[in-house]
Amino acid sequence: MKQIPNLFTLLNLLFGCLAIVATLQNGIAIQYDLEGTQLVNIPEKIWLASLFIGIAGLVDFLDGFVARLFNASSELGKQLDSLADVVSFGVAPSMILYQFLRLSYASQEDGLHVSQLWLAPVFILACAAAYRLGRFNLDASQQYGFKGVPVPAAGLLVASLPLIYWNESAEWIHGILLNTWFIYGLVLVLSWLMVSRLPLMALKFTDKSLAGNLPKIILLALSLLCIIFLKWMSVPVIFILYILLSLGFKNR
């Protein structure tokens, strides 16, 4: 029974690996329209990476629940969980950003021959995730709240980008997601948020009072509305709401 939570953690790692494979198997496709204009895109199947990261997020939530259910928490499980999270929510999302950055450069003149030096910065995200998780394992004060954005939250945000790109028709959204400086900026902001010491709430209802759970209830209600009206665009909005509500209620 004590190994069941660890099996869930290893499933998390498995889906993270599958997400990386799904990202690597989608190369850039070059086509030409009737006027001879070069059109560059990444095949739509990269959304499989988003799916696998999403499943990894679900399994990551369940392994903690199962550990509490069977009273099977252990130091090994804690370390395994962090190792799996580095892959599923650090490396795999970095690979998604790598493909978006390649696509961004490929849309520019001679962009297909961009140096790897210009693509490598996306892996700052993976490095920040590893640092954040290592620090988390040594900090016993983060049981009921977080210092810095949790790695799964940042990873799931990045995982939403392919789904937004291929399901939203607005040109301004595509323009932002394929903007080179937006991608660099996103990497830096998410990396800083993870390694920062911003006081952020953990989504655990340990307090039975309404006042103690008010920010979580507000977040859940707003998240539901966002999902109904914004669909995949709700993910970055919910991410921002999570940070704002955490900071707004930090003294309560």
Closest CA to 99 of 45, 24, 19, 187: 24
Q: Do 147 and 198 contact (CB within 8 A), yes or no?
A: yes
Q: Do 243 and 192 contact (CB within 8 A), yes or no?
A: no
SS3 category, 170: coil
Q: Is the pLDDT of residue 85 over 90?
A: yes
Q: Is the pLDDT of residue 116 over 80?
A: yes
Give me the pLDDT at residue 112, please. Answer: 67
What value does the mean pLDDT take over residues 117-125? 96
31 confidence band (pLDDT: 50, 70, 90) = low
Q: Is residue 230 located within the same domain as residue 134?
A: no
Q: Is residue 35 located within the same domain as residue 111?
A: yes
CATH number of the domain bearing residue 146: 1.20.120
pTM over 0.85: yes
Q: Is residue 217 located within the same domain as residue 103?
A: no
Q: How far is CA 96 from CA 187, 199, 223, in A?
A: 11, 28, 24
Distance, CA of 106 to CA of 137 (rounded, Å): 40
3 confidence band (pLDDT: 50, 70, 90) = confident
SS3 category, 114: coil
Q: Is residue 108 located within the same domain as residue 126?
A: yes
pLDDT in tens, 64-80: 777 777 776 778 888 99
The radius of gyration computed from the CA coordinates of the chain, to the nearest angstrom, equals 19
Query: Containing domain of residue 248, as a range?
Result: 203-252
Using the 3D structure, point to which of 158, 178, 197 is the last residue of a domain: 197
What value does the mean pLDDT take over residues 87-93? 97
- Residue tagged 């930090």 (tokens): 250
| Single-letter amino acid code for the residue at 155 | G
Q: Is the pLDDT of residue 38 over 60?
A: no
Residues of 183-198 as b/e, b for ≥16 C-beta within 10 angstroms?
bbebbeebbebbbeee
